[in-house]
């Protein structure tokens, strides 16, 4: 009797394979961005795609985010399905006019005549000693904007299978990929896996407290949940996955079971994703709560370069444990 060895892959390879499959599947899909061609992408995600699909469909863009995001919008209006890669979320500020004032608003401003089927991928998050201008988590900016869909794949399966439904969406989709996840290893997802771009998912069941998170924070939250289990506290972990439109129903259903909630968000605490999630929990579950909603976020500083300072600025397992202990009425 032989046992089948499951193939191993990485988050980076999953994103690459998602783009490869989409480009093979639909000739109108193409990739554009800084260094995506000969260099293979700033994080090596597009390595090999130029050789397979050629310069017409893997297009190196000049260092002007406004220009190439705008070109992507024009291509989408012309019937193409562009995947535009912005190297980091910090750089996307140079294209905010194109994304917020044009891509997100055009369907509304044209009276429903013009859709913009554009996918914009970008790296987000800290933890890699890349200093303030390459390490922030600004995805809440996009989640604030009507007309955009915002996805935050935290697993290899989501990284592999969220892209195609995003490309099928007639409206613009922003996909934020946490930089710390690219090297993450795991089993290659099944070819018949189904991933939607509508719902949050419960990644770990529990009865005592709900931990809500997304993206690069999912791993540390799952680690915290395992440590809490050793203490006799069973935490339910909800991965938001979709930041806009936010799946409040899944979060609320979990909180109604556990009666306590802690939101973990690598963005800053002030006016961030954690603020919105906490507000919705209070709106939907106020009379179900046995404790105030806790939040664990990045410190209110530009993300430092020095490793010990960066670690102190970002959410950690220890900070999650402390927040849960406060929610369940235990000493840290």
Give me the catalytic one of 65, 139, 236, 276.
Answer: 65
Q: Domain for residue 165, yes or no?
A: yes
> 162 and 90 share a domain?
yes
Q: Supply 165's token pair.
A: 């439904």
Q: Domain for residue 229, yes or no?
A: yes
- Residues pairing with 298 in the sheet: 268
Q: Is 289 exposed, middle or buried (0-12, 13-18, 19+ CB in 10 A)?
A: middle
Q: Domain for residue 196, yes or no?
A: no
CATH number of the domain that residue 177 is part of: 3.40.50.970
Least confident of 6-10, 62-66, 199-203, 220-224: 6-10
Q: Is 44 exposed, middle or buried (0-12, 13-18, 19+ CB in 10 A)?
A: middle
C-beta atoms surrounding 207 within 10 Å:
12
Paired sense of beta strands 201-204 and 8-10, if any: unpaired
pLDDT, position 332: 43
Q: Which residues span the domain enclosing 233? A: 201-328
pLDDT, position 137: 96
Q: pLDDT per residue over 134-168, tens digit each?
A: 999 999 999 999 999 999 999 999 999 999 999 99
- pLDDT of 331 higher than 50: no
> 218 and 174 share a domain?
no
> 211 and 95 share a domain?
no
pTM of the predicted model as reported, rounded to 2 decimal places = 0.95
Give me the catalytic one of 13, 34, 85, 134.
Answer: 134
Catalytic annotation on 65? yes
- Quote the CA–CA distance of 325 and 332 in Å, as a whole number: 6
3-class SS of residue 95: helix
Catalytic annotation on 194? no
Q: Domain for residue 194, yes or no?
A: no
Q: Domain for residue 105, yes or no?
A: yes
On whether the CB atoms of residues 203 and 157 are closer than 8 A, the answer is no
Q: Domain for residue 193, yes or no?
A: no
Peptide bond into 245 cis (omega under 30): yes
Of 154, 187, 220, which one is at a domain's C-terminal end?
Answer: 187
CATH number of the domain that residue 271 is part of: 3.40.50.920
Q: Is 232 exposed, middle or buried (0-12, 13-18, 19+ CB in 10 A)?
A: exposed
- Residues pairing with 149 in the sheet: 173
Q: How many domains does one find in the chain?
A: 2
Of 160, 187, 214, which one is at a domain's C-terminal end?
Answer: 187
Q: Supply 177's token pair.
A: 């990929």
Of 161, 187, 213, which one is at a domain's C-terminal end?
Answer: 187
């Amino acid at each position: 009797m032989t046992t089948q060895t499951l193939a191993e892959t990485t988050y980076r390879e999953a994103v690459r394979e998602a783009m490869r499959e989409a480009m093979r599947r639909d000739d109108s899909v193409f990739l554009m961005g800084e260094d995506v061609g000969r260099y293979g992408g700033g994080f090596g995600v597009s390595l090999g795609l130029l050789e397979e699909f050629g310069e017409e469909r893997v297009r190196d863009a000049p260092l002007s985010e406004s220009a190439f995001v705008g070109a992507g919008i024009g291509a989408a209006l012309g019937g193409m399905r562009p995947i535009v890669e912005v190297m980091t979320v910090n750089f996307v500020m140079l294209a905010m006019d194109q994304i917020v004032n044009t891509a997100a608003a055009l369907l509304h401003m044209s009276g429903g005549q013009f859709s913009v089927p554009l996918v914009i991928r970008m790296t987000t998050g800290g933890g890699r000693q890349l200093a303030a201008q390459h390490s922030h988590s600004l995805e809440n900016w996009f989640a604030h904007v009507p007309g955009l869909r915002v996805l935050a794949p935290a697993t290899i399966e989501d990284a592999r299978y969220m892209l195609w439904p995003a490309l099928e969406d007639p409206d613009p989709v922003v996909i934020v990929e946490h930089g710390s996840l690219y090297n993450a290893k795991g089993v290659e997802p099944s070819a018949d896996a189904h991933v939607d771009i509508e719902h949050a998912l419960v990644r770990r069941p529990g009865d005592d407290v709900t931990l809500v998170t997304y993206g690069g924070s999912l791993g540390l939250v799952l680690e915290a949940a395992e440590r809490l289990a050793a203490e006799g506290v069973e935490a339910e972990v909800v991965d938001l996955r979709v930041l806009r439109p936010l799946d409040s129903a899944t979060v609320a259903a979990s909180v109604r079971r556990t009666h306590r909630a802690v939101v973990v968000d690598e963005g800053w605490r002030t006016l961030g994703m954690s603020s919105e999630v906490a507000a919705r929990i209070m709106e939907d579950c106020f009379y179900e709560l046995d404790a105030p909603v806790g939040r664990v976020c990045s410190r209110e500083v530009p993300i430092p370069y020095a490793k010990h300072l960066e670690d102190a600025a970002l959410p950690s397992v220890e900070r999650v444990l402390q927040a849960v202990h406060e929610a369940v009425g235990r000493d840290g």
